[in-house]
Structure 1
């Protein structure tokens, strides 16, 4: 078996489900947010939408 260190929660619903899962597993939660919402230095990934693109970010020190 592998040890799980953290659960990643993507935006608001992911925080709710990710927190509950992390609690059950006894590990931490790492939030991923839409671009511009996190206060510290981040890594960013851009992805395509039907009519454009968007980006999500994670704190650099979260990994």
Structure 2
């Protein structure tokens, strides 16, 4: 049984770096997760910047008036 499993694994990974479909799916998942992480980080930075700016503007307006 282990010999059959080894043969299947060898046939499965014989294509340059693995099964093309698997590579494509994993590549897409990787790109999507990286895009999601990048968007999340940018959104968090934007939100923090907005809060900081709003706080500064509010203090400035309160100081002026």
TM-score, normalised with respect to structure 2 = 0.24
Instruction: Point out the structure with the larger strand share.
Output: 1
Larger-gyration structure (1/2): 2
Instruction: From the two aligned structures, give the one with the greater helix fraction.
Output: 2
Q: Please give the TM-score of this superposition, normalised by the length of structure 1.
A: 0.24
